[in-house]
Amino acid sequence: MRPPFADHALIKQFNEIKRYFRTYETGVSRDRMRDFRRFARMLLHAGYDVAFDFVGSVNFGVAESASDVDFVLYIRCENGYTGDCDPKNCHTLPQIENLILKTLMTEYVKEPYNTQVIDCINLGQLEIELQKPVPESSVAFRFAFYRSICRGVNLRVLRPFHRALLQNQALIEAMQPELDNVFQGLTRSLPHQLSFEKYRVRLGSSGVHIPVSLMEKIQNHLHYVDQQRAEETDCDG
């Protein structure tokens, strides 16, 4: 389905960079996507209908054997709970984390690897926010952002929410200004900068020469904050 923020310049640039790296996808990246598709099926049999959105090296297709897998987890919390997805109020979250880390990873993966849930979205909460949308909705914005830049597994679970969001273009447009703040924080982050350098080195070590045009896009992405400051200075001057 069409990414909610597909037309935003920052999202376009990020996804252009990502698509280039994915043309050289590693076997490890494909294997880990395959693992999580299997995890999703097994979790469904255990009564948990979940979905995943991947960030980092799996999202870019450059994962290696030592790479961690960082992902956004989508679940529906128990007993109709519609608040934030956190271990205190949503016991489904630690249950699934334990199943992935201690059971599925150990029993079904030949070489287990580290995983980290970087964010969790309660689909019950998302459902309510999409029914009564407001631009300040944190959950709806996070969902739109992840669905615009990430790589997902078991998207069947997310499709009704994605479709409902796309049908509300006014909400999408109202949320887009927040993307500037998100990218300012993201590109200012040292781990994010180091990740791009790591991805570049990995391609280079395999004999791939990244074109100048793409390197310029990467630099534009990583120096977004500096560009914003320069534009503000020009306006003030």
pLDDT tens, residue by residue, 25-34: 999 999 999 9
Q: Are 57 and 199 in contact (CB under 8 A)?
A: yes
CA-nearest of 151, 141, 149 to 53 is 151
Q: How confident is the model at residue 181 (pLDDT cuts 50, 70, 90)?
A: very high
- Give the rounded distance of the alpha carbon of 55 from its chain centre: 4
What average pLDDT does range 198-210 have in this prediction?
92
pLDDT in tens, 60-73: 999 999 999 999 99
Q: Are 218 and 200 in contact (CB under 8 A)?
A: yes
Q: Are 54 and 152 in contact (CB under 8 A)?
A: yes
What average pLDDT does range 191-208 have in this prediction?
92
**Average pLDDT in the chain:** 93
Sheet holding 115-122, edge to edge: 115-122, 69-75, 51-54, 151-153
| Residue 237 pLDDT > 80 | no
Q: What pLDDT score does 27 carry? A: 97
Q: What pLDDT score does 62 carry? A: 97
- Residue 148: how many CB atoms within 10 A of its CB? 21
Q: Are 177 and 167 in contact (CB under 8 A)?
A: no
The DSSP letter of residue 132 is S
Buried-exposed string 93-117: b where 16+ CB fall within 10 A, e elsewhere: bebbbebbeeebbeeeeeeebebeb
Q: What pLDDT score does 225 carry? A: 60
Q: What pLDDT score does 136 carry? A: 86
Q: What pLDDT score does 102 carry? A: 85
Share of the chain above pLDDT 70, in %: 95
Identify the residue whose tokens are 């599925």. Answer: 104
Q: Are 27 and 206 in contact (CB under 8 A)?
A: no
Question: What is the identity of the amino acid at 216?
Answer: E
pLDDT in tens, 99-154: 998 899 999 999 999 999 999 999 999 999 999 988 888 999 999 999 999 999 99
